[in-house]
Amino acid sequence: MEYDIIVLGGGPGGYLAAERAGQAQKKVLCIEEAHLGGTCLNEGCIPTKTLLYSGKLYAHAKHSQAYGVHAKDVTLDHSAVIDRKEQVIRTLVGGVGATLKACHVDVVDAKGVITGRTADGCTVEAGGQTYTAKNLIIATGSSCAVPPIPGLKEGLASGFVLTNREMLALRELPQHLVVLGGGVIGLEMATYYAMADVDTTVVEMQDHIGGPSDRDMVKILQKNCEAEGMHFLLNAKVTEIREGSVIYEQGGKTCTLPADKVLLSIGRKPNTAGIGLENVGVLTERGAIVTDERMQTNVPGIYAVGDANGKAMLAHTAYREAEVAVNNILGKRDRMRYQAIPSVLYTVPELSSVGETEESAKAKGYDVKVVKLPMSYSGRYVAENQGGNGICKLVFDKRTKTLLGAQALANYSSEFIIAAGICMELELTVADMKEIVFPHPTVAEILREAICKY
C-alpha cells in the first residue's frame, strides 16, 4: 500500500491537495474519517450560506413594498430550508468525490493516524490498514473550541447548547436563541435566525463584534443588525450555563439571560491531537502545526495546510496552501503569501475585507492615508438598497502610494473585494489603479470612486 502522497483529511485543503497531486499523475491516497468536503462543505461555509440565502429571500419579501412589490402572508418554512441545505450538501459532496475519482485518487473513509517514518517516507494507519508515502500532507481541519465554563459540557450533552454542526441540523426554530461569541460563525448564524423571526442575542466578551474587523465598519454593522431585531451584550463574560438560561457578568453585575437554545461559537481549535504527530516529531505551537512559507513542517516530506496550521482559518486560504504544498512536492518552487487574503462576514449587509485595517496598519508603523466613501456613491447600490447605509474604506501607504487594505460594508461586497486584493498582490500604485476600467453600473465601482479620491 505505497503512495507518492498521502493526504490526511478531505476538507478544502485536503481534497484540493489530492486533486492537484492526482492531476500531476501522482499516486495519491486521501484519508477522511467523516465526510469529504470537511467542515466547510458539510457543517460550515456552504450550509450556512444556504440558510442565509433563504433568510434573505424571506426578509426581501417582507420588506418588498419599498420597491413597489407587495407580498402577503409570507412565511418561512425552516424545515424546508434544512431540506434544501441537505440537498445542496449532497450535490457538492458528490461532486468532490467524483472529481477525486476522475483524478485517480484513492479515498479511505477512516481516521488516519501517523505511526512513524521509514526510509521510504511516512506510515499512516487507517481502517486497520497501514499505508506508506514519500510525502504526507496534513489537512485535518479544526473543531469548535469548548472553554471551561461551568455547565457548558453538560449543556452540550443535553442538546441545550449546540455547536455549528448541530445548529445547522436543527429542525425547529427556537423562540429565544443566545449566541456565545460575536465572531464570524456567531454573527452569520445569528443573522439567519434573527431574519427567521427568532429572538436572538449575541454575547461577546470584547467591546465590539467582528473580531479583528475594522472598528468603523462593525459599529455600522451592529446598528444594522439591531435594526433587524438582533440584540448584543458586549463586554459580557459568560460565567455559567444552566438549562434554560445563560449567566453572565457585565459592568460588575451578574445577570441571567433566558434561552431555549445556546449556540457555542467562541472559536475554533486545530484538529491535531490524536493523529500521531508525536510519532514523527512534528512541531506544534498552541495546538497548531508549525509550517514555513512552503507549507513544510520541521520534518522533511511532511506538510500541513488549512486550519491544522492555524495561520488563517479560511477555506480559500486552505485551497492556496494546498497548491503551494503540492507544487513544492512536485519540485516547483512556490510560497504562501498571506498579506492579501480576503475575508467576509456574511451578515446583512456583508462585511468584506482584505489586507490591513486602519488600526492594524498604524500599529505596524505605516504612514497611512484613509479614504472613506458611503456606498451611495454607487448608482447600482442606491437602486437596489433602499435606505442602505453601507460604506467603503481604503487604506493606502502614503510612502509607496499602494493599497494596504480595503473594507466594504455592502450586500454582495464578497463578490468584488477580490479586486482590491488583486491590486495589493500586484502592488499597483494609485496611478496604476486609476487606469482600471470598471463596468457600469456595478456596486464594485465604489472601489474606483474611492481610489480616485486619493
What are the backbone angles phi and psi of residue 203, rounded to the nearest 5°? Answer: -105, 120
Which residue in the list 63, 104, 231, 440 is annotated as catalytic? Answer: 440
Max CA-CA distance within the chain? Answer: 72
- SS3 label, residue 46: helix
Strand partners, 238: 248
Nearest-10 crossing angle of helices 78-102, 12-23: 30
Nearest-10 crossing angle of helices 215-227, 184-195: 20
**449 CB burial (10 A radius; 0-12, 13-18, 19+):** middle
Clarify whether 60 is annotated catalytic.
no
What is the set of active-site residues?
A: 440
